[in-house]
Structure 1
Amino acid sequence: MKVAFNASDFNHGMSMVSHALPARVIKPYQEGVFLETMDTGLRLTVTDGEVAIQSTIAAEVVEEGSALLPARLLGELVRNLEGNVELETESNEAAIVRNQGSRTRLVLFAAEEFPEIAPVEAESITSISQQQFKSAVRSIIFAIATDETRRILTGCLMETSADEVRFVCLDGYRLAMQRVYCKHEMPAGKEVLSYILPGLLVGNIARMMSDSEQPITLSLSRTHMMAEFDKTRVFAPLILGEYINYRQILPTSWTTAIRVERGALSGSIQRAALIAREGSNNLLRLKIENQTLTISAMADKGAATEQIPVDFDGSPLNIAFNANYLNDVIKNIDTQDLSMRFNTNVSPCVVAPVSGNQYTYLILPVRVSD
């Protein structure tokens, strides 16, 4: 194999595929990057045995072929080069990397050990803009569970229907749901298709892409997924099992509701949380009455009280929340005003836009004595 490419193009490709490098290497191929010539240039592939990421860069192919090289070493080398880079393999033993006056010889890994990346036989293909995907994921990913004993909840539920895609995350204490409105061709006889995507991987994919209007295409089978954007493809197994029926969790009626300006609420929560975190339970108490929301926190080192004017409807209420959980929800909302709806001081609070339904959050309160 002999190819020539621009160092900055290669660096971008490596920045994509390196997300699949495992923290702990069990098999030699897991620390390698598989290079193979294509009609469109040079394809880079890295896999940890489950997740695989491919990225294709522009390259001049002088001699076709493939090779498995040490990923981190090759990546660090090319990051220290500029302009045109030549890479040529010597039989099956080594690769020579040339750039201006630089010549580096890298020992090859056994390419036959690198697993074949199987295509996804998709039953569902959804395309939305990278900006929409990134915004949706960024707004909900905080609510995935991190406890592997609840593996289902470490995933992000993706539901597709004819008019929208829903992304849902919940960890047992809070729920976050975002809708992306788009047309989607459904299989005959199907109204909704549901998949559980690996949550941490979904977050990584969102960080890998730009805020552009270019599409990301999600191809899903019953067991695997492929995400394709720009010149990058991400392959991964889905999380199998039955996701919690989140629709049963969401209240359909309420006895107390407020409308509040998001910026004022966010500032008050963050200031009161400074005191709450000094306490043993990181607790914020909310009191709703007389068109006023009062947020208070107490700890050995001090106390805080914040008052915000609100549009109030229903019964007065005293309720308490974990400060971090409440702050995570409010800081991920970008509308000017929001509504908070309650029933009792021990039932979930629903946070939603004043108009429309592009997002919905649910937070469980903390039971406290008066």
Structure 2
Amino acid sequence: MKFECAAQDLVYGLVNATRALSARPAMQILEGVLIRTEEEGISILCSDGSLSIKADVKASVSVPGEVVLPGRLLTEIVRKLPEGTVSFDMNEKMAVTLRCGQSRSTITGMAAGEFPQMKDLINTHAMHFPQKKLRDMISKVTFAIALQESRQALTGCLMEMTPTELRLVGLDGFRLALQVYHEDFVLPDGKTELKAIVPGRVMTELSHIMTDDNGMATFHFDTTHMMAVVGNITLVTSLLAGEYINYRQILPSNWLTRVSVKRKELQEAIERASLMAKEGKNNLIRMKATDGNLKITSNSELGDVLENLDAHLEGEEIEIAFNSRYISDVIKNVDEECCTLSMNTSVSPCVISPLEGESYLYLVLPVRVYN
């Protein structure tokens, strides 16, 4: 195998493909990156067994071939190369020599026969989403995805697609994050709804790949896999099995209390109160909503914090307590100037939503406090 390509193109391909590498690979070959010559260049493929990412890179190929090289080592070597053209030259013993300028490195490779092939869904129905919008939606739900959960489905992000909207949902048992994108979509086979549970890690890596603010990402689904095509990067992942929680049943339909407040002032007040709350045993902050005022307090053995905010109250006054990290994570992901906190009792969920519309919704469970 022998080819030449631009160093910056090779770096881009390796950085994105190696996002699929596992920290604890099940097989030695999964520590590697499969480099294969193609008609118009080379492909770079990494896999952890359930997630595969392939980057297509323009190259001038003089001798076709394929080889598996240590993924992280190769990436770090190529990142340190000077700008210019990189040449790859593999001998009969699968030793690959890289040259760029006056730099030369030799890496021992492995045969590609046992490397898992990437599933191809290109012939299934395609759906298109704006990269910038989808990236923003992902960033606002992944914090609420469960990291370790007896129900494996909750370690994933629920994608719900209808002919009029896309919904992303994250839920970890303490909080829920929902992002909604209203657009006309054509679903496959005349379906009225399409659901997929995508592993949380995959959604995070996908958001890092979607860097073109003006570009589109193309998605393909079957019953067990999802494929996303972003420019010259293709990602294929296994979907999580099982039923996702019916989150709509969790959302209250009526409210006794609604508090409207400026988001920036609320976030800053919560952050200040959280500093003291972290010094306490329970990491709690308390809120008390009265007519025209929202009071936020926290205390520990080291002292206390009191914050007063202007707020608009509809309905009954309320006192409620939250884990400071959970409520802070939610408010940090609200972009609008103002938001609404809707509650019923001090022990029932609090829902954070925009003053108008339904582009997002967050739910946080309060902490029961015994005075």
| Length-normalised TM-score, structure 2 | 0.96
Partners of 1:43 and 1:2 lie apart in 2 by 13
Q: In structure 2, what is the equivalent of residue 24 of structure 1?
A: 24
Cα RMSD for the two superposed structures: 1.5
Contact 1:156/1:167 (<8 A) preserved: yes
Amino acid at match of 1:263: K
Pairwise CA distance, 1:176? 0.3
Which deviates further from its counterpart, 40-49 or 322-331?
40-49
Pairwise CA distance, 1:149? 2.3
Pairwise CA distance, 1:277? 0.9
Q: In structure 2, what is the equivalent of residue 66 of structure 1?
A: 66
DSSP 3-state at the match of 2:169: strand
Deviations for 1:231-251, whole angstroms, at most 9, x for unmatched residues? 111111000110000011111
Q: In structure 2, what is the equivalent of residue 35 of structure 1?
A: 35
Partners of 2:139 and 2:97 lie apart in 1 by 41
Partners of 2:262 and 2:199 lie apart in 1 by 34
Pairwise CA distance, 1:125? 3.1
Partners of 1:303 and 1:20 lie apart in 2 by 46
Q: In structure 2, what is the equivalent of residue 48 of structure 1?
A: 48
DSSP 3-state at the match of 2:214: coil
Deviations for 1:135-166, whole angstroms, at most 9, x for unmatched residues? 00111111011114231111100000001110
Q: How does 1:341-356 map to 2 (within 5 A)?
A: 341-356=342-357
The change in CA–CA distance for 1:102 and 1:217 in structure 2 (over 3 A counts) is same
Amino acid at match of 2:252: P
Amino acid at match of 1:19: R
Contact 1:337/1:354 (<8 A) preserved: yes
Q: In structure 1, what is the equivalent of residue 5 of structure 2?
A: 5
Amino acid at match of 2:201: L
Deviations for 1:182-204, whole angstroms, at most 9, x for unmatched residues? 22112345221111000121112
Amino acid at match of 1:217: T
Which deviates further from its counterpart, 18-27 or 2-11?
18-27
Partners of 1:123 and 1:240 lie apart in 2 by 20
Q: In structure 2, what is the equivalent of residue 120 of structure 1?
A: 121
Q: In structure 1, what is the equivalent of residue 104 of structure 2?
A: 103
Q: In structure 2, what is the equivalent of residue 221 of structure 1?
A: 222
Amino acid at match of 1:275: M
Amino acid at match of 1:10: L
Pairwise CA distance, 1:40? 2.9
Which deviates further from its counterpart, 73-82 or 333-342?
73-82
DSSP 3-state at the match of 1:112: coil
Q: How does 1:100-179 map to 2 (within 5 A)?
A: 100-120=101-121, 125-179=126-180
Structure 2 residues without counterparts, runs of 5 or longer:
none
Contact 1:42/1:56 (<8 A) preserved: yes
Partners of 1:182 and 1:92 lie apart in 2 by 54
Amino acid at match of 1:81: L
Pairwise CA distance, 1:180? 1.4
Partners of 1:22 and 1:321 lie apart in 2 by 35
Q: In structure 2, what is the equivalent of residue 361 of structure 1?
A: 362
Partners of 2:227 and 2:60 lie apart in 1 by 27
Partners of 2:164 and 2:345 lie apart in 1 by 34
Amino acid at match of 1:222: T
Pairwise CA distance, 1:108? 1.6
Q: In structure 1, what is the equivalent of residue 313 of structure 2?
A: 312
The change in CA–CA distance for 1:248 and 1:15 in structure 2 (over 3 A counts) is same
Partners of 1:267 and 1:103 lie apart in 2 by 53
Partners of 2:239 and 2:176 lie apart in 1 by 20
Q: In structure 2, what is the equivalent of residue 250 of structure 1?
A: 251
Residue 88 in structure 1 maps to residue 74 in structure 2: no
Amino acid at match of 1:59: A
Which deviates further from its counterpart, 142-151 or 284-293?
142-151
Amino acid at match of 2:198: L
DSSP 3-state at the match of 2:188: coil
Amino acid at match of 2:206: I
Contact 1:128/1:182 (<8 A) preserved: no
Contact 2:67/2:94 (<8 A) preserved: no
Identity of aligned residues (%): 38
The change in CA–CA distance for 1:144 and 1:298 in structure 2 (over 3 A counts) is same
How many residues align structurally? 370
Contact 1:120/1:219 (<8 A) preserved: yes
Partners of 1:246 and 1:126 lie apart in 2 by 24
DSSP 3-state at the match of 2:179: strand
Amino acid at match of 2:294: L
The change in CA–CA distance for 1:149 and 1:22 in structure 2 (over 3 A counts) is same
Partners of 2:111 and 2:212 lie apart in 1 by 38
